[in-house]
């Protein structure tokens, strides 16, 4: 197209719920610790955002037995939300995490509505930029059924968390919900500013030599490239149903993968297991997005969305 200026600096920046990200690439919860562990292996300062490991009010020591099991193009994990508790996170981990540069997103988990609410209060008083609410935790009071499986339970967590915390709120959805759209809408009505999708899928493995399930808890969370087409489909379908930004995740391991999610309507992406497979994945995705945009004359991220309102 002669006469049209080639864009020399593609704009990777995006704003979600009022928070500015320098680029749409965010480290997923549970895969990046508190930001310092991967220092040196990649340029962590270049990331758009970092989601902390799932935090609970009370410290949790995590699950006994095996916690990891590789699968074809993926990983089963049953960590058990091992974390030092929110108070220790704020005091010991947050200052270093803040200093790194990317947007700080605290992933809030809990076993009861009261624990979620107290956690939200504590994080509200801290310097984290956003909260990502993990509603896939089992509700101890309902015999361990995940809060995120139906609209009413999901709302019962989101509403008090919203009331307790003024910070921008992302709700991370469980892909196991029979009616995901209903859960999503309930979260938005309850006050979610954005949604992230997907959390891990429930899977399992059996050790055929020992003749028993690999994990003490029998089932575990499946992540990695194997789940990507399903995660992408869920983001595509949810986009039509909600008005808030969706952060897409599930097996993203390359710039091409990330672009698929942006085209499906995701405002940003998270990268999880791929960082284990290749520590520089996220910085390579950022570079890959830049070159794709330059080569295809795309000036801003919003242009990727195939269904954007013109």
Partner 1 sequence: MKAEKRSLLCRLRSKRALAGGIALLDFEWPFTPPSAGQFFMVKPARTSVFLARPLSAAASGEGTVSFLAAARGRGTAELISMTAGEEALLTGPLGNGWAAFLPKDAAKPVLLLSGGIGAAPLAAAGAELRRTSVHFDFLAGFRRGADGESILSSLGIEAGRALIVSEDGGGRPNGKRGLVTDFLDPQNYSAVFACGPEAMLRSAVLLCRKAGTRCFVSLEARMACGVGACRGCAVPARDGAYRRCCSDGPVFDGEDVFFER
Interface mask (CB under 8 A) for partner 1, residues 234-273, using x and -? ---------------------------------------x
Copy the structure tokens of residue 72.
């074809």
Indicate which single residue of 13, 20, 45, 70 sits in contact with partner 1 (rule: CB under 8 A): 70
Query: Which lies closer to partner 1 via its Cβ, residue 191 or residue 279?
Result: 279
Q: CA 221, 223, 227, 232: dihedral to nearest 10 degrees?
A: 110
Residue 203 lies near partner 1 (rule: CB under 8 A): no
Active site residues: 137
Length of the chain in terms of residues written? 310
Indicate which single residue of 7, 46, 66, 181 sits in contact with partner 1 (rule: CB under 8 A): 66
| 306 vs 122: CA distance, rounded Å | 39
Indicate which single residue of 3, 72, 166, 178 sits in contact with partner 1 (rule: CB under 8 A): 72
CB of 303 to partner 1, least distance (A): 32
| 258 vs 71: CA distance, rounded Å | 22
6-45 residues near partner 1, rule: CB under 8 A: 30-33, 37-42
CB of 187 to partner 1, least distance (A): 27
CB of 6 to partner 1, least distance (A): 32
CB of 259 to partner 1, least distance (A): 22
Copy the structure tokens of residue 4.
């049209």
Query: Which lies closer to partner 1 via its Cβ, residue 51 or residue 192?
Result: 51
Among the listed ranges 67-75, 89-97, 166-174, 259-267, the one in contact with partner 1 (CB under 8 A) is 67-75
Indicate which single residue of 7, 17, 46, 79 sits in contact with partner 1 (rule: CB under 8 A): 79
CB of 8 to partner 1, least distance (A): 30
Site residues, partner 1 (CB under 8 A): 30-33, 37-42, 53, 61-64, 66-75, 77, 79, 82, 224-225, 273, 275-280
């Amino acid at each position: 197209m002669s006469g049209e200026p080639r864009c020399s600096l593609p704009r990777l920046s995006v704003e979600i719920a009022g928070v500015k990200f320098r680029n749409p690439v965010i480290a997923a919860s549970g895969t990046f610790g508190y930001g310092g562990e991967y220092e040196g292996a990649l340029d962590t300062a270049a990331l758009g955002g970092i989601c902390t490991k799932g935090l609970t009010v009370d410290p949790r020591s995590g699950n006994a037995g095996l916690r990891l099991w590789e699968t074809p193009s993926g990983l089963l994990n049953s960590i058990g939300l091992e974390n030092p508790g929110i108070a220790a996170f704020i005091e010991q981990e947050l200052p270093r995490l803040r200093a790194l540069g990317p947007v700080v997103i605290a992933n809030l988990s809990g076993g009861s509505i009261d624990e979620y609410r107290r956690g939200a209060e504590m994080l509200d008083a801290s310097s984290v930029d956003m909260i990502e609410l993990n509603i896939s935790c089992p509700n101890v009071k309902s015999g361990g059924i995940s809060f995120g499986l139906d609209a009413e339970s999901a709302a019962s967590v989101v509403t008090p968390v919203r009331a307790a915390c003024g910070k921008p709120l992302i709700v991370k959805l469980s892909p196991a919900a029979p009616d995901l759209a209903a859960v999503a809408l309930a979260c938005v009505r309850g006050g979610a500013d954005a949604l992230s999708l997907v959390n891990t899928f429930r899977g399992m493995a059996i050790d055929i030599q020992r003749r028993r399930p690999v994990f003490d808890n029998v089932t575990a969370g499946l992540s990695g490239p194997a789940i990507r087409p399903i995660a992408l489909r869920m983001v595509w379908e949810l986009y039509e149903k909600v008005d808030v930004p969706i952060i897409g995740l599930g097996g993203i391991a390359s710039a091409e993968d990330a672009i698929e999610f942006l085209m499906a309507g995701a405002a940003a992406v998270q990268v999880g297991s791929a960082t284990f497979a290749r520590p520089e994945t996220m910085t390579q995705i950022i570079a890959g997005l830049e070159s794709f945009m330059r080569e295809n004359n795309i000036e801003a991220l919003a242009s990727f969305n195939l269904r954007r309102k013109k």
